[in-house]
């Protein structure tokens, strides 16, 4: 066990070891108690499921954070981030970013072109509930989540809660400005919620460039010494605008209609590498995105039968422009990439409990149709030089499951999915799950599952020009997991919970994009990967004294993800080695200390060394050392006659650590942001 | 008292958490290494695009010792993103390392590997060709211009624009000197061979060849051989090997490869009588032959040959295997008649070579 691991265990034990009694707390803290209850008394539809539910307080900690930040500090899944407002992907259980499926209010939001989701584009304030479904548990949502699934959802205003409003403004380092407005109305039958977020920053932080040296020359032009320059992050500015509208209509006691629409418009510059010697005025490297996601869901409840129909639409337009100065005053547009993606979703599902509520039968049908037009057109009028694809692809999926609780302590679940992808039916995708409550007070339970899963190639994998490979096979494999959960309310003042899950999966036909001798990349099915490991969670909620609250939530995962395929040649040293950019150890912790209107939140995360080579070589140029990251936030709530206000000071990277998440991508040192929130009383 | 104890416990927990930060141990530039290398082969390893993990290795054929990451060890900084080529000064004193996506050309001492100077702000440099101590050309991708530099003071002197070439799909690639002219193959999306007069930097002749001439050598008869991809990206077309008479600027021999062939890395032996290239296996052909060979010189052994180099001093063949493009590649050293004599690991995607013998 290395030093980092010892630190992690110390923190987790410290988090769990809190003891003593007393009292209920604020609304957010009460929600975390609910979370513990869910784990202890597992609903029938969650039999055997390994679920991490992100606390709502973590989701709404600040308008400056994206879901990538929330996941980094509130789970042990690996977040690979190129920096704020830059590509941030996540991977569960040692799998790749495209092996995590993501849905928002039931609408799948993975890019059909890339297969993955950029979590830096999802403001955490636009999510009210985030569930992480680990491994085979993701099959309850859809197929493709070889690592897991993330289920994001929003909650319109509570019924009959009346009007409410909240406005938050943040001002921070590097000319960063965050604005967030939420207007809600909860009526007897109709509830609405409107959210608007605007974030912008020059993002021009300074850093010591350890990858470069500047020369000091003598009068003859000879180098007499060198030093690491202090540089400014170049081409990192961004402006993101997000708006969301939700409407919930309770048409009757049995029928509910919800509608959500979320629009995004962003302009993000792509920062230069730390090894780039270009001059600042000589290039443009920028990405524009316009996206609309809309979903309507109708739910009808008739006795024990619940029927849901859902329709959704996604429009996404992405533009990437890269221009450079070729010679003085001559700029050339080297890349002009455009893509337009439209996705239509139709879904019906039903579930029915038996009269004794020991059986739950469910089934569903999902149809998705993608229309993708992608071009990577150089600035020329010669059509033959345009590389593009324009395809439509339909995906159909059936699922059926039976869940049974023969005795109150035992739950069994069988699920079967069948997918139609590119005119070919997949083999049936089965999943078996079970859990058993070991103690009469339901504090201790075990769960296990076994499942087969498929991940289909993305449209870029198949059709990208040049390099797309239409003959790619789907990635697939069996996965197994088993775990133990414990949760106990020791007194009215102290609740503790902990869980651990072992998992093991083998993924065949792993897809990698590799160079070709013709100078471009092309995807191939090249590897078999054995991903296995352990996940640990521990949480505590403690009210040590009147007005005092302590909450600790910690996560740790050990995720060997090893290439076990055949060597590509006699010299291949990748077999038996950890996959690139998958840390073996990940951990996070969020602790909150509250006293009356004050609260102090500490966030911490750790990733162990990440290799960038398939052979796991530790070379200076080719691996990323482990790092720890710490943030802290101090908040003071202020009540005035006409409004509730709050002032929050957030310090990111509080120990001013120099670190890298991705090779050659600079990250900011210590930085600050101050937020002022106001919620008028109507 | 009980309350104090509880608050103390809380404070201790917070203190524990705050003590955990640690820090990333930055693994750069510690303990610079003083090299004193003899004659040998510099090997440029591209690394992976956008990783910034290009490296430079040095191999001594006499002792069979290999040193990896010599640029970083000597200078305490990274080489950059995608090493494209290595050019050695005519007197062997300096090696020019062209780092394409770092937009820089580093000049290093061939004995100590210490930086002697650099030319920065290069839009998309590919190859450097030294014409005199004060003049060199640097070709570019995605550009219709060739950069003129002064190697003696590491400065950019000017640009030479290729007529009728759209900048965004422009490409100038390999260069060689012959008969007082510099010949330039125009590769990506291009199909031309240029003849340049280095005295006034003017293009004096052009020849249309097969699409995408990627590598170019001269034989003992003073003829130019071009290995062409045969098609532009997204199009179909068979690779071609073409021979050009530089005086008349005419194609005098033209060989078409089988449809599935993807030949690359055209080289000659030191005498200029033999051609070598990679096409799955390693192939050898006399420049006086009239047809492509049917039997390879060195057969693939499940290897992924990425680049090929013939030592101008010994005629030995150095074959780079990129393996899976994500791990340190391996170099196989063969005698001119194809006998394996050594093998060693270098950096990721080894693709360029330079002989430092003086």
pLDDT digits (tens, 9 = 90+) for A345-376: 999 999 999 998 899 999 999 999 999 998 87
Q: pTM surpassing 0.90?
A: no
Q: Which residue has the higher pLDDT, B18 or A374?
A: A374
User: Do the chains contact at B120 and A332, CB–CB below 8 Å?
Assistant: no
B47 at A interface, C-beta within 8 A: yes
Smallest Cβ–Cβ distance between A213 and the set B75, B229, B235 belongs to B75
A175 vs A201: CA distance, rounded Å = 5
Owner of token pair 């967030």 = A180
B7 band by pLDDT with thresholds 50, 70 and 90: very low
A501-515, A542-556, B226-240: which is most confident? A542-556
Most B CBs within 10 Å, among A3, A235, A327, to test the B interface: A327
Q: Determine the average pLDDT of the residues in A47-71.
A: 91
- Distance between A254 CA and the closest CA of chain B, angstroms: 48
User: Which residues in chain A are contacts of B114 at CB distance < 8 A?
Assistant: 223
What's the confidence (pLDDT) of residue A516? Answer: 72
Task: Give yes or no for B134 touching A (CB within 8 A).
Answer: no
pLDDT at A504 over 70: yes
Lookup: tokens for A680: 């008028």
Q: Is A211 part of the contact surface with chain B (CB cutoff 8 Å)?
A: yes
Q: What is the pLDDT of residue A381?
A: 44
A614·B324 Cβ contact <8 A: yes
Q: Binning pLDDT at 50, 70 and 90, where does residue B147 land? A: very high
- What is the per-residue pLDDT for A524? 87
Contact B120 A658 (CB under 8 A): no
CA distance A48 to B270: 70
Averaged confidence pLDDT in chain A: 88
Joined tokens for residue A335:
């890349």
Range with the largest mean pLDDT of A114-118, A334-338, A464-468:
A114-118
Contacts of A208 in chain B (CB under 8 A): none
Q: Region A13-34: what's the mean pLDDT?
A: 36
Structure confidence at residue A622 (pLDDT): 75
* Residues of A whose CB is below 8 A from B301: 569-570
| Average pLDDT over every residue of A249-269 | 95
Lowest mean pLDDT among A64-78, A148-162, A175-189, A431-445: A148-162
Q: What pLDDT is attached to residue A109? A: 94
Q: Do A334 and B28 touch (CB under 8 A)?
A: no
pLDDT digits (tens, 9 = 90+) for B24-77: 666 655 568 999 999 999 999 999 988 999 999 999 999 999 999 999 999 999
* A210:B322 CB<8 A: no
Rounded to 10 degrees, what is the CA torsion of A521, A522, A526, A527? 60
Three-class secondary structure of residue A57 per DSSP:
helix
**What pLDDT is stored for residue A42 in this prediction?**
63
- What integer is the mean pLDDT of B98-103? 95
> Between β-strands A521-542 and A548-558, what pairing exists: parallel, antiparallel or unpaired?
antiparallel
d(CA A92, CA A233): 30
Token pair in block for residue B285? 């052909």
Give B236's pLDDT tier (boundaries 50, 70, 90). confident
Q: A–B: how many Cβ contacts below 8 A?
A: 278
Q: Does residue A631 register a pLDDT over 50?
A: yes
Q: List the B41-45 sheet strands across, edge first.
A: B65-67, B55-60, B41-45, B350-355
The neighbouring-strand residues paired with A447 are A435, A483
Q: What is the pLDDT of residue A40?
A: 42
Q: Report the chain B residue with the minimal C-alpha distance to residue A467.
A: B234
**Coil, helix or strand at residue A336:** strand
Cis peptide, bond prior to residue B250, ω within 30 of zero: no
pLDDT band at A281; cut points 50, 70, 90: low
Please name the member of B80, B143, B189 whose beta carbon is closest to the beta carbon of A326: B143
Q: What is the ipTM of this complex?
A: 0.89
Cβ pair A326:B140 closer than 8 A:
yes
Nearest CA in chain A to B116: A223
Q: Give the residue-averaged pLDDT of A639-648.
A: 95
A602 with B14: Cβ contact below 8 A:
yes
Calpha distance B78→A226 (Å, rounded): 13
Could B16 and A627 be called an inter-chain contact, meaning their C-beta atoms sit closer than 8 Å? no
pLDDT of residue B186: 97
pLDDT in tens, B151-201: 999 999 999 999 999 887 889 999 999 999 999 999 998 999 999 999 999
Q: What pLDDT, on a 0 to 100 scale, did the predictor assign at position A44? A: 84
Please indicate whether, in this complex, the C-beta atoms of A273 and B328 are within 8 angstroms of each other.
no
Q: Does the CB of A216 have a partner CB in chain B at under 8 Å? A: no
Cβ–Cβ of A613/B189 closer than 8 Å? no
- The verdict on a CB contact (< 8 Å) between B7 and A211 is no
Closest-CA distance of chain B to residue A221, Å: 7
Q: Chain B 281-320, CB below 8 Å of chain A: which residues?
A: 301-304
Element (H, E) at A10: helix A3-16
Q: What is the pLDDT of residues B259-306, one digit of tens each?
A: 989 999 999 999 999 999 999 999 999 999 999 999 999 998 888 899
Do B76 and A226 count as a contact with CB atoms less than 8 A apart? yes
* pLDDT exceeds cutoff 90 at A32: no
pLDDT digits (tens, 9 = 90+) for A175-198: 999 999 999 999 999 999 999 999
State the residue for tokens 């002792």.
B63
Of B52, B161, B343, the CB nearest to A273: B52
Residue listed under structure tokens 């039958």: A189
Residue A449 reports pLDDT greater than 70: yes
Average pLDDT over residues B236-248: 95
Query: What confidence category does residue A36 fall into, taking pLDDT thresholds of 50, 70 and 90?
Result: very low
Region A607-634: mean pLDDT is: 90
Q: What's the rounded Cα separation, in Å, for the pair A48 and A450?
A: 10
Q: Are A210 and A658 in contact (CB under 8 A)?
A: yes
Which of B166, B168, B262, B182 lies closest to B218 in space, CA to CA?
B182
Would you call B188 an interface residue with chain A, using a CB distance cutoff of 8 Å?
Answer: yes
The 3-state DSSP composition of chain B as helix, strand, coil percent (nearest 5) reads 10, 45, 45
- In chain A, residues with a C-beta closer than 8 Å to the C-beta of B350 are none
Out of B17, B99, B330, closest to residue A591 by CB: B17
Q: Which of A290-299, A516-525, A569-578, B238-247 is predicted with the least confidence, judged by mean pLDDT?
A: A516-525
Please tell me the least confidently modeled range out of A29-38, A393-402, A565-574, B317-326.
A29-38
Instruction: State what percent of residues in chain A have pLDDT above 70.
Output: 90
Answer yes or no: is pLDDT of A440 > 80: yes
Give me the pLDDT at residue A623, please. 84
Range with the poorest average pLDDT among A161-165, A328-332, A501-505, B144-148: A328-332
pLDDT band at A84 (very low <50, low <70, confident <90, very high): confident
Q: Cβ–Cβ of B13/A14 closer than 8 Å?
A: yes
Average pLDDT of the residues in A504-512 = 93
Query: Is the minimum CB–CB distance between A223 and chain B shorter than 8 Å?
Result: yes
What is the band of A7 on the pLDDT scale with cuts at 50, 70, 90? very low
- Measured distance CA(A155)–CA(A165) in Å, rounded: 15
What pLDDT was estimated at residue A10? 39
Element at A297 (helix H, strand E): strand A283-302
Instruction: Indicate the range of A21-30, A282-291, B238-247 predicted with least confidence.
Output: A21-30
Q: Measured between alpha carbons, how far is A520 from A518 in angstroms, rounded to an integer?
A: 6
Determine the pLDDT at residue A465: 77
Q: Which of residues 595-614 of A touch B (CB under 8 A)?
A: 600, 602, 604, 612-614
Distance from CA of A632 to the nearest CA of B (A): 10
Which of B76, B78, B122 is facing A621, going by the closest CB pair? B78
Furthest-apart CA pair in chain A: how many Å? 93
* C-beta atoms of B6 and A544 within 8 A: yes
Mean pLDDT across the stretch A652-677?
A: 94
Tell me whether residues B81 and A276 touch, CB distance under 8 A: yes
Q: Where residue A17 falls among pLDDT bands split at 50, 70, 90?
A: very low
Share above pLDDT 90 across residues of chain A, in percent, rounded to a whole number: 71
Q: Does A199 score more than 50 pLDDT?
A: yes
Mutate to test the interface with A, among B123, B124, B190, B215 (most CBs of A within 10 A): B123
Average of pLDDT values for B315-329? Answer: 94
| Chain A residues touching residue B122 (CB < 8 angstroms) | 277
Nearest chain A residue (CA) to B154: A221
Q: Is the pLDDT of residue A378 over 80?
A: no
CB contact under 8 A, B26 and A655: no
Interface of A with B in 390-449 (CB under 8 A): none
Q: What is the mean pLDDT of residues A629-656?
A: 95
Answer yes or no: do B55 and A621 touch at CB < 8 A.
yes
Residue A38, pLDDT > 50, answer no
| pLDDT higher than 90, residue B240 | yes
Residues of B in contact with A385 (CB under 8 A): 169, 189, 232
Cα–Cα distance measured from residue A16 to residue A19, given in angstroms and rounded to the nearest whole number? 8
pLDDT above 80: residue A379: no
């Amino acid at each position: 066990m290395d030093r980092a691991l010892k630190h992690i265990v110390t923190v987790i034990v410290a988090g769990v070891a809190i003891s003593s009694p007393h009292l209920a707390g604020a609304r957010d803290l009460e929600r975390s108690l609910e979370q513990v209850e869910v784990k202890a008394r597992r609903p029938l539809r969650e039999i055997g499921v390994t679920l991490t539910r992100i606390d709502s307080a973590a989701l709404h900690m600040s308008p400056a954070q994206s879901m990538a930040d929330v996941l980094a500090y509130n789970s042990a899944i690996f977040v690979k981030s190129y920096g704020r407002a830059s590509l941030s992907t996540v991977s569960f259980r040692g799998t790749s970013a495209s092996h995590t499926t993501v849905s928002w209010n039931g609408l799948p939001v993975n890019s059909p072109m890339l297969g993955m989701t950029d979590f830096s584009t999802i403001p955490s304030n636009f999510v009210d509930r985030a569930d992480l479904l680990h491994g085979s548990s993701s099959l309850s949502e859809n197929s493709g989540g070889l690592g897991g699934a993330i289920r994001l959802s929003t909650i319109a205003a509570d019924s009959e809660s009346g009007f409410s409003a909240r406005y938050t403004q943040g001002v921070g380092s590097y000319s960063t400005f965050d604005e967030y407005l939420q207007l809600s109305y909860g009526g007897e039958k109709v509830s609405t919620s409107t959210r608007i977020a605007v974030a912008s920053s020059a993002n021009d932080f300074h850093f010591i460039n350890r990858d470069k040296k500047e020369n000091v020359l003598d009068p003859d032009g000879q180098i007499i010494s060198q030093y690491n320059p202090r540089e400014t992050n170049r081409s990192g500015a961004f402006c993101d605008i997000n708006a969301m509208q939700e409407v919930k209509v309770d048409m009757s006691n049995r029928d509910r209609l919800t509608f959500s629409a979320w629009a995004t418009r962003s302009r993000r510059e792509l920062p230069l590498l730390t090894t780039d010697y270009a001059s600042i005025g000589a290039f443009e490297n920028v990405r524009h995105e316009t996206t609309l996601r809309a979903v309507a869901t109708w739910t009808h409840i008739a006795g024990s039968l619940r029927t849901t129909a859902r329709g959704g639409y996604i429009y996404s337009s992405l533009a990437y422009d890269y221009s450079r100065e070729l010679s003085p005053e001559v700029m050339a547009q080297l890349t002009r990439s455009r893509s337009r993606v439209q996705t239509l979703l139709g879904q019906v599902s039903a579930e029915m409990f038996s009269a004794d509520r020991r059986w739950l039968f469910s089934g569903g049908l999902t149809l998705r149709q993608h229309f993708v037009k992608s071009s990577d057109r150089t600035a020329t009028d010669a059509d033959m030089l345009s590389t593009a694809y324009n395809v439509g692809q339909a995906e159909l999926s059936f699922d059926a499951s039976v869940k049974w609780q023969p005795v109150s302590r035992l739950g069994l679940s069988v699920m079967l999915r069948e997918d139609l992808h590119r005119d070919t039916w997949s083999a049936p995708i089965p999943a078996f799950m079970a859990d058993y409550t070991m103690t009469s007070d339901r504090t201790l339970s075990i769960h296990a599952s076994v499942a087969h899963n498929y991940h289909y190639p993305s449209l870029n994998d198949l059709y990208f020009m040049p390099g797309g490979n239409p003959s790619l096979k789907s990635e697939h494999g069996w996965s197994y997991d088993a775990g133990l959960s414990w949760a106990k309310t020791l007194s009215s003042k102290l609740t503790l919970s902990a869980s651990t899950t072992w998992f093991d999966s083998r993924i065949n036909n792993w897809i990698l994009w590799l160079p070709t001798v013709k100078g471009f990349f092309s995807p191939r099915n090249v590897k078999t990967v054995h991903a296995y490991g352990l996940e640990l969670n521990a949480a505590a909620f403690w009210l040590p004294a009147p007005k005092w609250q302590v909450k600790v939530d910690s996560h740790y995962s050990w995720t060997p993800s090893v290439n076990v395929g055949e060597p590509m040649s006699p010299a291949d040293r990748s077999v038996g080695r950890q996959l690139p950019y998958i840390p073996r150890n990940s951990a996070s912790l969020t602790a909150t200390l509250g006293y009356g209107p004050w609260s102090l939140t500490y966030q911490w995360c750790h990733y162990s060394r990440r290799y960038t080579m398939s052979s796991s070589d530790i070379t200076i140029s080719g691996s990323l050392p482990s790092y720890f990251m710490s943030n802290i936030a101090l908040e003071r709530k202020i009540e005035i006659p006409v409004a509730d206000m709050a002032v929050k000071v957030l310090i990111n990277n509080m120990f001013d650590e120099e670190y890298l998440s991705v090779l050659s991508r600079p990250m900011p040192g210590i930085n600050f942001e101050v937020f002022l929130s106001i919620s008028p009383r109507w | 008292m009980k309350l104090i104890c509880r608050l103390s416990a809380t404070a201790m927990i917070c203190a524990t958490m705050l003590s955990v930060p640690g820090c990333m141990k930055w693994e750069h530039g510690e303990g610079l290494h003083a090299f004193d290398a003899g004659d040998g082969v510099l090997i440029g390893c591209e690394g992976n695009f956008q990783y910034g993990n290009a490296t430079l290795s040095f191999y001594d054929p006499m002792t069979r010792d290999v040193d990896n990451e010599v640029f970083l060890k000597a200078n305490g900084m990274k080489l950059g993103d995608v090493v494209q080529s290595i050019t050695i000064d005519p007197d062997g004193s300096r090696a020019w390392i062209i780092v394409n996506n770092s937009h820089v050309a580093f000049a290093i001492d061939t004995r100590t590997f210490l930086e002697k100077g650099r030319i920065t702000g290069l839009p998309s440099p590919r190859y450097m060709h030294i014409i005199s101590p004060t003049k060199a050309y640097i070709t570019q991708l995605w550009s219709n211009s060739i950069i003129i530099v002064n190697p003696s003071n590491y400065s950019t002197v000017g640009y030479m624009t290729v007529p009728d070439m759209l900048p965004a799909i422009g490409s100038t690639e390999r260069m060689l000197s012959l008969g007082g002219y510099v010949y330039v193959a125009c590769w990506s999306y291009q199909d031309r061979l240029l003849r340049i007069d280095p005295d006034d930097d003017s293009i004096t002749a052009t020849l249309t060849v097969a699409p995408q001439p990627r590598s170019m050598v001269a034989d003992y008869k003073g003829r130019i051989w071009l290995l062409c991809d045969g098609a532009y990206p997204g199009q179909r077309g068979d690779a071609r090997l073409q021979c050009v008479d530089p005086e008349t600027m005419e194609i005098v021999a033209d060989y078409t490869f089988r449809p599935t062939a993807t030949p690359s890395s055209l080289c000659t032996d030191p005498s200029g009588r033999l051609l070598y290239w990679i096409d799955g296996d390693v192939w050898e052909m006399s420049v006086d032959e009239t047809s492509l060979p049917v039997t390879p010189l060195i057969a693939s052994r499940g290897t992924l040959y990425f680049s090929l180099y013939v030592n101008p001093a010994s005629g030995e063949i150095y074959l780079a295997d990129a393996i899976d493009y994500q791990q340190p590649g391996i170099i196989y050293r063969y005698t001119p008649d194809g006998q394996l004599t050594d093998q060693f690991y270098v950096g990721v995607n080894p693709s360029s070579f330079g002989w430092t013998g003086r």
